[in-house]
Each structure stands twice: as C-alpha cells, then as structure tokens.
Amino acid sequence: RASRAPPGQARIALRSGLILIAVADVVLHVVLPMTHDSEALSRDRWAAALRWPCQFGVAWFLCSRAHTNHVYVAAAAAICSFVTGICGYWMRVLKQPGDLAIVFVFFGTLTEMFCIELSVARVSVLRRTMHLGRHRALHAARIALLSWLVLSVPCWVEQSMLRSYSVVLALLVCAFVACSLHACREPLGAALWARAPDGKASCPVSVGAAEQALRAMRLLVVSLLCSHAGLEAIAVYWVIIMTAGGPLDWHHPSSHGLVAITTSCWCITSFALAALSGAAHVTPNPVVKLTEGQRFHRQQSLLRTTSVNGDPWQAKVEELAGRGFTLEALLDFWADLPRVMPHYCPSVHTTRDVVWQAIIPQSRVGDSDGCALATLMMGGRCTRPRKMVSHSWGNLFRDLVAAVVADALGDSEFGSVAALLERDEPSLRGLVAARGTLKDTYWICAFSISQHSAICDDSACGGEDPILRRPYPTCACRAPKARNGDPPVREDGQSIPCELNKFTDMIEFLAATDGGFEQVIAVDAHAQVFTRAWVIDEIAASHRLGMPQHLKVRSASVVDKHVERLRGMRVQDMRATRPDDVAEILGRIPDKDAFNAHLQRIVFDVGSGLIASWRALDAKQVLERVGRTLLVANLCMHQRRGKGEGEP
C-alpha cells in the first residue's frame, strides 16, 4: 500500500542523522572562535539563534512522526533544510567557504525537490480520491522545475550565471505553485459549498465532516504557498542583488538583508513542511504485541482443531469458517438490492429488514431447501475470510455495507462512504479497486449463516417492514431447522448441527490457523451494538486471542455522544433476539464483575483499546477521508446546479 509506514530502523536513522548534524554544528560554534575572527562569528549569530531551533524542532517532530511515506518525505526535506541553513550561516562567516558552497547547493536542491514531490503527492491523493484525474499542468510544471534544479546545479556556484538562473527559477517556482493551487480549485470549491447554506441543505455530509474538509483544504492551500515561498523569495532577491551590484559578496554589509530574508524563508518553509505533510493529525496505530495469555489461547485453539479429526462439531465449525465472501460480491448484492427488494430505502431499512426480505428469499434453493447466501455469492467455493464483522441487526443495512467498505479503504469513519453508496456506488467501487482491496474477504453472520437452518420460518424472530407496515413474509422451504438444544447434541447439551452456537469456536479456529485474521466492529448511530450479546461475546473472544480489532463508526460524534454510556456497560444488560443466546453466553462467564472490568479495558485502554485503535489514522488516510467527503459534496453540488439550470 502506498501509505505503508517506513521501517522503524529508517525513523531511527533519520533521528540519529539529525542529532549528528546538530552536534556537529554546536561543536563548530565552540571550536571555530579559537581559530577565526570572533566578530565575524557573532555578527549574524542572531540569525542562527532564530533559524536553529525552528528548523531542528520541525525536523525532529517530523522524524518522530514518520509513520507514512508523506511524513517520511517531509522529514527528509526538513533535515536537508536544516543542513542548508547551517551551510548558509558558515558560508557567510568563513572567509574561504570552499566546498561548503557545493554542500549548500546540494542540500538546498534536495530540499526543494522533496517539497515538490510532497506537494504533488498530497494534491494527487486528494484528486484521485475525488476522481478528478491527473492534473497535467501540475505534472508538467513539476518535471520542468525538477529538471531545472538538477541540470542547472553548476549555476549556483558560478556567480556569473546566477542572475539568469535565478530568473528562470523564480518563474518556474511561480508556475508550479500556480498549478498546485489550480489543482486544488475544485476540492476547495466543494469544501466551501458544503459549508454554505445551500450545501448544508442539500448535502448529506455531516457538519463536522464538512468543517474538517474545509480546514484541511485551507491548510493545504496555505502550506503549498509557503513551502515554496522560501526558494521563490531567495531567487527574486538574488536577481535584485545581481542586477544592482554585480557578483554577490557574502561578506559585504549589503548582504545583511539577504541573511534576514533567507533565515525567515527557511523557517517558514520548515513550518509549511510540517503542515503540508499532515503530521500534526497523524495518530499511529498502537503497537500491540500478543501477551503470553493470548499466545496460550491460540495454541490451545490450534491443538483442539488438530486433535479432533472426525468430530462432527469441528466439521461444522470448519464449514462455517469457509463461508466468507469478497467485498466485490457484497457490492454486487448492494447494487442488485433494489431489484430484489423494490421498496428498499437506505435511510430506513435495517439489516433485519434486508435479511427477511432479500437474503432469505435469495438464498432459497428450489422449493424445499436453502443455504447461506455467501455460498451462492461465491459460486459454492469454500472461501476463508480475513475479517469477521460484528454488528447489530438493528443497524441500517446501508451503514453495515459502508462500514465494510470503509475498512477496505482504511478509514475508521463511514459517513462519506454511506453517502457514496447511495449516490454513486460505481465511483466508490473504483476507489476500492484502486486501493487493491476489492477481493478482500469478510464473514458476516447475515450472509454466512444459513438462515434456512435457523429462523426462516419463525415469525417470532421477524418483525414488520417500516415502510409497507406489514409483517415479514416467512419462508415456506422445508429445510431442517437446528437450534441450540436440538439433537444430536454434545455432552454439554449443545446442538451439533446448529450454526448459531459456534461463533466463538469459529473465531478460535480462524485465529489459530490464520495469524492475520481480524475483527471489524460496525457501530450503529446509537451504539446499540455494544448491548448485543453475541457482539460482546465476539469482542471478548477476539481480544482473548490477540486478534486486531477495528471500530467503524459513522462519525466521531457517535463515540463522543455515547462514551459515558459505554463506560457503564455491563454484561448483565446484554440483549439478543433469542433469550436462549443470552442465557448461554452468561452461563460461560463465572465472574461477571471481573468480565465487566475486562470489557472496559478492551474498549477504553489508552494504548491498545478499541477507541485508541479507532482514532489511529495516518496522514494519507486523513486526506483520503477528506477526499471522499469532498467527492460527495462535489456530486451534490453538480446535481444541485444541474437542477437549477434546468428550471425555467
């Protein structure tokens, strides 16, 4: 993935190199006064006192937060900028700078090249997410500026050519900045429209998401301007100096203005790099290692799966574990849902509504049998899931699908994804395909359990359609049903053919045989998912096995609104459609108070809790979330304006 973090050794190398450079500069300040003119050293020390903490502080900050390639590039640029500032100071102080000028040229060029690449990368992520395509003028300006920087390096040390070089450089930098801002024109326009009264009235994007997008766009525009303003100002000043006074004399008093300008510009560039990289908004994923207890549980699960050959219970567990399906198949089902369920309304119908009126009818085989819909979705192939989705059937079905898609996109919020599902599913599918996660496999009980072997004929488990105002139709298939206590049973009284009492065993089997198996928790708007018996059981089992767990919420306000209620969460208050499920789960918990305390740690632990993991986003993912928000706003804006133009 493009946003994958560089190795930890690379971050250590960056910080180590920065420390060595800083120490060398300090040593020079101590040693050189013994052999050089102290007046020359102290004359511009004010510039070093201003530049040094700014450049070093920003470089250290970026090196410490280099968890993505964008921040990694910014950290490299900040270090090069720091070296350039040091060289500029010592070039002025020393009477014979010699090769120091070449070092100054080299690192100054590297700084600008890193800034160019970072600018293009950030703008490209935004435009690609919004399906705006490649900005050809920006890439042409990038190639021209990079070529001039590389091919014209000798001009920096040959002062007779400096004026011509500086004129061309100033023009190219202006052209690149102008193209960068033009590439941001449509995203910025969509962000402004989403916050305008017209946008608030017709755009499904939440106020918080719209404000976040507008702040991000303003910061991006300002940082694009400032990250190149330093080089632009220096180039223009050189033109003035060379035109007025001939060759530049670093030791002449007239160059004091150049010192002030270059010092200020390099400091501004450093701060702009930090803003452009998005490092200030990065929350790295918490590093969670398996505890001894979690390793023990995985080993025990693996032993159970390998020592029960021929056990019908284990055979059923492994059958369930092979009923995963791809995200592509889920999106196909979503696209076909209006045909299967013509009255389907995304903002009204829940997963329970869709199960009874679409999944059960679609998974019926002939007149007398049925199977899990996942089996039909995958053409009967055994498909191992990489992630299990825990959710509430009372949640909107649209939000369930959006949570899965958001997971595939690496986002922890699915508000903009839900809006795209309704308005432009092909564009959303394109985003997933571009990320390479369209074939990711998931396990969702509504699809992966055969409803025909459990509830399809039980009207007590059904309900009423919220739009048609009539009860769900029951299935007339004659498939045999198997519930918790139906024979044949194990010694503990659990039904062997039943598919509803093996979730924990299936999680243990998948976690023991696949070290990368993960859990996704789709949180509804009212956070009712944390009151569901099976969800709590799945969360506890996944944590016990050390599985990565990911919360997916519609917006941050859902967590903020319900966080206090979640702190009072108790296993005794769990609910389920069937009372037998609650009794079964509570029966497996001998010390309920200890379990409640453990549940609080799972959710709220600062280092590895579900909420801490939910807040973990890198710089690229934050910008992609903004891009998806602006994609929705842009679609709504054009639809609104199209309707307005069509009105008489």
Residue-wise pLDDT tens digits, 11-68: 778 888 888 888 887 777 666 655 555 555 555 666 677 778 888 999 999 988 887 8
What are 510's two structure tokens? Answer: 């998948």
Give the range among 108-112, 249-253, 336-340 with minimum mean pLDDT: 249-253
- How far apart, in whole angstroms, are the C-alpha atoms of residue 297 and residue 293? 6
| Mean pLDDT, residues 454-464 taken together | 78
Tens of pLDDT, residues 261-314: 777 777 888 899 889 998 876 655 545 567 777 777 777 777 777 655 678 999
Map residue 325 onto helix, strand or coil: strand
pLDDT in the model for residue 282: 62
Question: 235 falls in which pLDDT band (50, 70, 90)?
Answer: low
**Cα maximum dimension of the chain:** 100
pLDDT of 441 over the 90 cut: yes
pLDDT in the model for residue 448: 97
- CATH 1.20.1070 residue spans of the chain: 8-281
Give the range among 419-433, 444-458, 576-590 with minimum mean pLDDT: 576-590
pTM given for the model: 0.80
Q: How many helices (H) and strands (E) does the chain have?
A: 29, 7
Q: Please state, for a pLDDT cut of 70, what percent of the chain lies above it.
A: 83
Question: 648 falls in which pLDDT band (50, 70, 90)?
Answer: very low
- How far apart, in whole angstroms, are the C-alpha atoms of residue 65 and residue 395? 37
Map residue 464 onto helix, strand or coil: strand
pLDDT of 230 over the 70 cut: no
pLDDT in the model for residue 400: 97
pLDDT in the model for residue 335: 95
- Residues 6 or more apart in contact with residue 529 via CB below 8 angstroms: 390, 391, 392, 395, 521, 522, 523, 535
pLDDT of 3 over the 80 cut: no
Question: 179 falls in which pLDDT band (50, 70, 90)?
Answer: very high
CA distances from 625 to 401, 424, 629, 630 (A): 17, 16, 6, 9
Tens of pLDDT, residues 511-520: 989 988 999 9
**With helix as H, strand as E and coil as C, how does 113-163 read?**
HHHHHHHHHHHHHHHHHCCCCCCHHHHHHHHHHHHHHHHCCHHHHCHHHHH
Task: Pick the more confident residue, 27 or 2.
Answer: 27
Give the range among 41-55, 146-160, 442-456, 528-542 with minimum mean pLDDT: 146-160
Map residue 329 onto helix, strand or coil: helix
pLDDT of 350 over the 80 cut: yes
pLDDT of 610 over the 80 cut: no
pLDDT in the model for residue 330: 97
Q: What is the mean pLDDT of the chain?
A: 83
pLDDT in the model for residue 491: 87
Question: Phi first, then psi: what are they for 169, rounded to 5°?
Answer: -60, -45
CATH architecture of structural domain 8-281: Up-down Bundle (1.20)
Task: Pick the more confident residue, 410 or 610.
Answer: 410
Question: 636 falls in which pLDDT band (50, 70, 90)?
Answer: confident
Q: Highest-confidence range of 522-531, 574-583, 638-647, by mean pLDDT?
A: 522-531
pLDDT in the model for residue 353: 95
Closest by alpha carbon to 278, among 188, 230, 217, 193? Answer: 217
Q: Please state, for a pLDDT cut of 90, what percent of the chain lies above it.
A: 34
